[in-house]
Structure 1
Amino acid sequence: MDAATEQGVKCFEIYRRDNGRTGISRRLHHDPATGRSWVLEVHEKSGARGDSLRVETEIDLEDMEPEERMRYELRLTAELAAERAARPLF
């Protein structure tokens, strides 16, 4: 369990691609306490000598272009609804 989940932040993996020594992943985060939503994109690359490079980019949904923001908001709504539906009723 990562630090974000421990603090009550919802986190959903929305994209992952691993291609040999390189990889890209995107996780959609939502903090119910503040209403803030953001995407964390991680690029990882490892070299033949064991060296590695990791670049994390965090983008608030509010800072995205309207079309891209709408797509992530729809995904967030669907993920939160699925999570609510999976909870027991009592």
Structure 2
Amino acid sequence: MSGDGESKPMEEIQNDTVSNGQPIDSSDRYHDREALLKETNLLRDTLELILSKSIEQKKTCEQLAQENRYLQEYVENFMSSGDVTER
């Protein structure tokens, strides 16, 4: 029970203290929240960058695979057009 005769719910009491039992003031909560928001934004931006780079790399790989198929077909056609090894 608090000094004014009203009892606080257990969750409210637990939210008022940190693990070492010391009370948390509202400025600490604000700074903790701000730090979490900054970290969350940084992580989100990092994930977006990784996704963007992954998509870019996938496009590059697909383009190179297409070029490889073209070159393979070119070499096969060139080899079958005549006996190029007997010069």
TM-score (norm 2): 0.30
Larger radius of gyration: 2
Q: Which has the higher contact order (CA 8 A, sep 6+)?
A: 1
TM-score (norm 1): 0.29
Which of the two has greater strand per residue? 1
